[in-house]
Amino acid sequence: MTRTFIVGGNWKMNGSQSTVKDLVAMLNNANLDKNVEVVVAPPSLYIPSVISTLKAGEVAGQNIYAESKGAFTGEISAEMLKDVGAKWVIIGHSERRHVFKEDDKVIAKKVKHALDVGLKVIYCVGETLADREGNQTTAVVFSQLQAVASEIKDWSNVVIAYEPVWAIGTGKVATPDQAQEVHKEIREWIKKNVSPQAADAIRIQYGGSVNSGNCKEIGMKPDVDGFLVGGASLKPEFVDIVNAQQ
Q: What is the pLDDT of residue 13?
A: 98
CB atoms within 10 A of CB 195: 13
Residue 187 near residue 142, CB atoms below 8 Å:
no
pLDDT in the model for residue 174: 87
* 95 a catalytic residue: no
Which of 4-8, 78-82, 103-107, 173-177 comes out lowest in average pLDDT? 173-177
Q: How many CB atoms lie within 10 A of CB 115?
A: 23
Q: pLDDT tens digit string along 191-225?
A: 999 999 999 999 999 998 899 999 999 999 999 99
Number of domains in the chain: 1
Between the alpha carbon of residue 142 and those of residues 100, 165, 187, the distances in Å are 21, 15, 11
* pLDDT for 169: 81
**93 catalytic per annotation:** yes
Percent of the chain with pLDDT over 70: 100
Among residues 37, 113, 163, 183, which one is catalytic?
163
pLDDT tens figures, 223-235: 999 999 999 999 9
Amino acid at 19: T
Query: What percent of the chain stands above pLDDT 90?
Result: 94
Q: What is the mean pLDDT of residues 157-171?
A: 92
pLDDT band with cut points at 50, 70 and 90 for residue 157: very high
Q: How many helices (H) and strands (E) does the chain have?
A: 11, 8
Residue 122 in this model has a pLDDT that exceeds 70: yes
> Average pLDDT, stretch 161-174?
88
> Does residue 180 surpass a pLDDT of 80?
yes
Q: Which listed residue (37, 93, 95, 113) is catalytic?
A: 93
Backbone angles phi, psi at 51, to 5 degrees: -60, -40
Q: Burial level of 91, CB count in 10 A (0-12/13-18/19+)? A: buried
Residue 168 has pLDDT above 90, yes or no: no
Written as one string, the DSSP assignment of 180-229 is HHHHHHHHHHHHHHT-HHHHHH-EEEE-SS--TTTHHHHHTSTT--EEEE
What pLDDT is stored for residue 1 in this prediction? 66
**Residue 195, domain extent:** 5-242
Q: In this predicted model, what pLDDT tens digit does every residue of 60-114 receive, in sequence order?
A: 999 999 999 999 999 999 999 999 999 999 999 999 999 999 999 999 999 999 9
Residues 22 and 54: beta-carbon distance below 8 Å: no
Mean pLDDT of the chain: 97
- Stated pTM of the model: 0.97
Sign of the Cα torsion 185, 190, 193, 195 reads negative
pLDDT digits over 140-155, tens only?
999 999 999 999 999 9
Q: What is the pLDDT of residue 19?
A: 98
> For the domain that residue 160 is a member of, what is the CATH number?
3.20.20.70
